[in-house]
A and B are shown apart, each in its own frame.
Chain A
Amino acid sequence: MNRGHVNKSMTNRITAVAGRTLMMVIACALGWIAPTSAQEPIRITIESGADAPLPIAVVPLGWRGNSAAPPIDVAGIIAADLARSGRFSPMASAQMPAQPTEFAAVRFQDWQRLGMDNLVIGTISQTQPDRYDISFRLLDSFRASQLTGFRIAASTANLRLTAHRIADIIYEKLVGQKGVAATQVAYVTSDKAANGKRTYRLQVADSDGFNARTLLESPQPIMSPAWAPDGDRIAYVSFEERNSAIYLQNIRTGAREVISAGPGINSSPAFSPDGRRLAMTLSRDGNPEIYVRDLTTGSQQRVTNNPAIDTEASWAPDGQSLVFTSDRGGGPQIYEVNLRSGAQRRLTFNQSNYNARPRYAPDGKRIAMVTSNGQGYQIGVLTLSPQSFEVVTTARLDESPTFAPNSAMLMYTTTGPAGTELAAVSVDGRTRQRLALQRGEVREPAWGPFRE
């Protein structure tokens, strides 16, 4: 088969995962391109692939500009995005039989012979010192025809974002669901200085780990970033006033407000799907309970009333109910509460004595959670109809699952040799990847909404 993108360091090993054998392929480190800023990007390693990823060749774009090469490798970014989705197996440019940039120059039989179903060609033209036109065509090799094509204007500042958008156009055309390459991820980092002092940062980066920007830096811990559905605001928990407090920050202006800073715990903010309400956990009445605040009127509703721990609310996509963690039955399990009737029921009845921190998939079909059967903590996925439960990760200390906005993948925190790292897995557990910062710890990913 054509695995031309996998370099000589590729290793294959057979690993039994949850009673199923998967081919583990350590592919080349993708997206490892020097960034323009001093910020070190997240390095991404695909650890296992889908059963049958689609072969595709993203040919380096032709360059028409004043310098020797374009400022970034647009085709390389597109190929890396497609590989990270787990659905594609992009060809390495060195393996390509030719590097056409025009439709008329494509010899389709060459690509057919190599089994490349699809081909992406195009050019990037410098129109002004800081302006570019990118044109690209997605081609079907076997039909020798164009599936889609666009010309897009871009500035130096948004060239990477434009490349991600092109990857999403290709993904949607070939897979039939929206791509998430152009989305952003919020997360918390923790760095330890030589003197032992820690610095915590709340950051937002592109979904490939590049373009990281800091929203908050503090000597005290930061937790629980949560996106507003408009993608313009993030709620989070900060200990900067020596207790947990919930803040809401505009990520463009940096302006923020305190949402809750009462005595006891102020934690687990979660926006309703319409963005108008915020669920949160407060222990001001003696123990942790879930409340829902109307952000417009300021009115607040207490949702749980139980002497046990009730926390970690996540909204159903219809906004009618919440799922949350409660240890009212002895250990932590996942419960659901209907916000209108107040009716509550337990959702998890798997073998696990520890199910916590639920996250509803945006399509409403699944709930991801942290689960433990006594052998460490992994990410579990509860499929709702027909009901089934699957453990989709295999490490010992996995936590903080967050769904991609297309519900196809989960990002989570895993603990590796260097500390906590981000990782991603397809909801069926078949594609896993690690996203490793070069230093420090990174954790609590929150996958942002689609960008319009």
Chain B
Amino acid sequence: MNISRLAKIAAIVVLGIAVTACGTSRKSTGDSGAEVVEQGIGADENAEIDSARTRGIGDSESFAGNELDAPSGDLLSQRVIYFDYDSDSMREEYRPIIEAHARYLASRPDSTMTLEGHADERGSREYNLALGERRAMSIRRQLVLLGASANQVRTVSYGEERPVAEGHDEASYQVNRRVEIIY
């Protein structure tokens, strides 16, 4: 969890580049995660993904300082990403973790990962199943932008069906709104 200030600065710089790259390649549709708009990591978008990936690989070199302060092993061991209420946007604090996993996947093209999307219990179950998928897809999109190959990352949603905390309060909801990274 302890990320040095240098790492944070580096992360913010990289973030800026990534966001710029993202902005040039696809439309942004505002906040609250509405950018999920048809990502379709499919064949017809390969050009966009390739360009994004190229940038991601370039960035990783200027990011070497990060690994000294926070060994990538530590980052790779962090495998749960939490989300804000009704949001599928990745919080900035998780960017170094996702970058580490993206680098790992990029360096081992044969490795694969499953992203399990989860929601808290509020509202309708089937709708929450869709929200869980949206969260998993959001993280997958980040991984692909940062260098992973789309076919290395499988997504599955459990909606609200597998909570880690079973209370009916915000403290439980916070840890249930998550994407779990499983190798």
Contacts and interface: CB of A to CB of B under 8 A. Distances in A.
A281 B38 contact: no
A224 B126 CA distance: 8
Contacts of B38: 286-287, 307
A244 B126 CA distance: 11
B127 to A, nearest CB: 5
B122 A377 contact: yes
Contact of A265 (B133, B154, B162): B133
Nearest to B131: A309
B158 A221 contact: yes
Contacts of B131: 309
Contacts, number: 93
Interface residues of A, number: 37
A83 B32 CA distance: 47
A399 interface: yes
Contact of B123 (A307, A330, A370): A370
B132 to A, nearest CB: 9
Nearest to A310: B130
A415 B130 contact: no
Identify the interface centre among B32, B127, B137: most chain A CB within 10 Å of its CB: B127
B130 A288 contact: yes
Nearest to A281: B126
A312 interface: yes
Contacts of A239: 158, 161
Given A239-B158, A265-B130, A286-B40, A415 B125 contact: no
Nearest to A332: B127
A444 interface: yes
Contact of A325 (B40, B42, B124): B124
A309 B134 contact: yes
Given A267-B129, A281-B126, A332-B127, A242 B156 contact: yes
B39 interface: yes
A330 B34 contact: yes
A244 B129 contact: yes
A349 to B, nearest CB: 19
Contacts of A251: none
A268 B126 contact: yes
Contacts of B159: 223
Contact of A309 (B122, B127, B154, B161): B127
A307 B156 CA distance: 18
Contacts of B157: 244, 265
B168 interface: yes
B157 to A, nearest CB: 6
Nearest to A312: B126
B121 interface: yes
Identify the interface centre among B42, B122, B125, B159: most chain A CB within 10 Å of its CB: B125
Contact of A356 (B36, B121, B127, B137): B127
Interface of B: 32, 34, 36-40, 42, 121-127, 129-131, 133-134, 137, 154-159, 161-162, 168
Given A307-B36, A444-B125, 6 more contacts: A221-B161, A264-B155, A267-B126, A370-B124, A372-B123, A399-B124
Q: 9 shortest A-B CB distances, which residue pairs?
A: A221-B161, A357-B124, A356-B124, A307-B38, A286-B40, A309-B130, A307-B37, A288-B130, A268-B126
9 contacts: A223-B125, A242-B156, A265-B129, A267-B130, A268-B126, A286-B39, A287-B134, A372-B123, A415-B168
